[in-house]
Amino acid sequence: MRQSVRHWPATPLAKRLGLQWPILLAPMAGTSTPELAAGVAAAGGLGSLGCATQPVDVSHRQIAAFRQISNGGLNVNFFCHERPADIVARSQAARERLAPFYAEAGIGTPPEAAEPFVPFGADHLALVEEFRPDVVSFHFGLPAQDLLNRVRATGATIFCTATTVAEARHLEGQGVDAIVAQGIEAGGHRGVFLDTPLSQHSGLMALLPQIVDAVDVPVIAAGGIADGRGIAAAMMLGAQAVQIGTAFLRCPEAATPAPHRDRLRDAGEGATRLTRLFSGRPARSVVNRLMRELDDSEAEAAPYPAQISLVAPLAKAVAEADRPDVSSIWAGQAVGLGRDMPAAQLTERLAAEADTLMRPANTETDR
Ligand SMILES: Cc1cc2nc3c(=O)[nH]c(=O)nc-3n(C[C@H](O)[C@H](O)[C@H](O)COP(=O)(O)O)c2cc1C
C-alpha cells in the first residue's frame, strides 16, 4: 500500500523514529524473530526483538540478523524485575501442585526451582552499546540509574511500560522518552512495577487518555489493538503510536509454535485470562488445562521468574506430544481479530485500515 493521499498525520514520535506509520511491533520474548521485526520495519513500522528471557548470545545473533536483512528501525526490549530471594523455600507449594502433571507426563518430579534468567544488567548493556538500536525498551520498571544513563548515552530512545497513571508519572520523572500505556486487555505479562492491585487496573480506553493527560512525553497505546479500528481509536485518545503484539502472532515469521497457532485461530472473545501460574507474575494467556486445573493455586506460584523453571520442563515434554495443555499461550483479549498474514502485509493492511477511518475527520487534506 502506498497511497498518494495520506489522512493519518505523522506524530512527533513517528517523526523522531523516522517511521512511515506509528505502528510498533510489540517486543515478544520467545516469539519475536528478526524476520518478523524486519517485515514490520519494511512496511514503515518499528521492528522489535524481545530479548529479556533468552541468553545474550542469542540476542546478539538476532540483532545481527535483523541488521543483515533490514535497515529499518529496531526496538530491543529487556525486563527489569526484582530478583527473587529464597527461591527454593518459596517454591515448595508450587512444586507440590505441579507434581501430578509431571507424573502424568512421565517425567519424574518437578526440579528444585531456579532463576532462568536475570534482569537487565551489564551483559545486556554491552549488547546495546555494541548495536545502538534506535529504541531500548523496558518492562517491569527501569534499570538502576547508572545503567539507564549508559543506555541513554548510546543515543537510544527509551520506552518503558506503564500499567497505571502512577507508573506513567514515575517513569516520566525518571526521564523516559515515551511511555507504553498497557491496558488490561494486553497479551503477555503486565508490565506492572508499582503495587496497584490488579483488580484496579484499567482497560486501554480508560487508561490511555488519563496517562496522556498526566504526562508530557509521548504515549504509546498497547492492549487489544488488532485492526485499523483499534489504531484509529487509540490515536483519537491521544496516542502517538500503537504497540501491537497478539495480532502479529499468526504471521508466518513469528516463532509461534504450530499447536499454539491452532489455539489462537480458535480463540474468540473471552478465551484469555490473567494468570500467575506460568511465571509467578500476572500475564494474559489463552486458557488451557493447566490454568483450569490449578485455578485455585495462583497464590502458591513460585516468585517470578522461578515459576518458569518449574513449568518449562513440563511444557517442553507435553509440547513434544504436540499438546499446548500446560504451556503459556500469551495472547490479548482481541485474539479473535487475528489474521494469518505475513508481517509486512499485515502492517500495510493495518495502516490502510486506520488511514481510511481517519479520512472523514481530515477531508480538507484530500488533494
Ligand atoms: C506473546 C507475547 C509476548 C510478549 N512479550 C513481551 C516482552 O517480552 N516484553 C514486553 O515489553 N512486552 C511483551 N508483551 C506485551 C506487549 O508488549 C504488549 O503490551 C501487548 O502485546 C499489547 O497487547 P496485544 O497483545 O493485545 O496487542 C508480550 C505480548 C505477547 C502477546
What pLDDT digit, counting tens, does each position of 288-335 carry?
999 999 989 999 999 999 999 999 999 988 877 777 789 999 999 999
Residue 188 DSSP SS3: strand
Contact present, 102 and 108 (Cβ < 8 Å): yes
Q: Tell me, in angstroms, the distance from the centre of ligand 1 to residue 79's CA.
A: 12
Determine the pLDDT at residue 363. 54
Residue 208 DSSP SS3: helix
Residue 203 has pLDDT above 60, yes or no: yes
- The pTM score is 0.96
Residue 333 CA: which ligand 1 atom is closest? 26
Q: Tell me, in angstroms, the distance from the centre of ligand 1 to residue 249's CA.
A: 10
Mean pLDDT of 39-47: 98
- Domains observed in the chain: 12-83+118-254+337-365 (3.20.20.70), 86-117+272-330 (no CATH)
Determine the pLDDT at residue 366. 47
pLDDT digits (tens, 9 = 90+) for 345-357: 999 999 999 999 9
pLDDT digits (tens, 9 = 90+) for 256-282: 999 999 999 999 999 999 999 999 999
Give, using CA atoms, the residue closest to atom 11 of ligand 1.
139
Residue 65 has pLDDT above 80, yes or no: yes
- What are 214's strand-pairing partners? none
Alpha carbon 178 to its chain's center = 15
pLDDT band with cut points at 50, 70 and 90 for residue 1 = very low
Say which amino acid occupies 235.
Answer: M
Handedness of CA 303, 184, 327, 55 (dihedral sign): negative
The C-alpha cell 523516522 sits at 18
Residue 155 DSSP SS3: coil
User: Does residue 224's CB lie within 6 angstroms of at least one atom of ligand 1?
Assistant: yes
User: Does residue 231's CB lie within 6 angstroms of at least one atom of ligand 1?
Assistant: no
- Terminal CA-CA length for the chain: 18
Q: Tell me, in angstroms, the distance from the centre of ligand 1 to residue 323's CA.
A: 23
Q: Tell me, in angstroms, the distance from the centre of ligand 1 to residue 235's CA.
A: 19
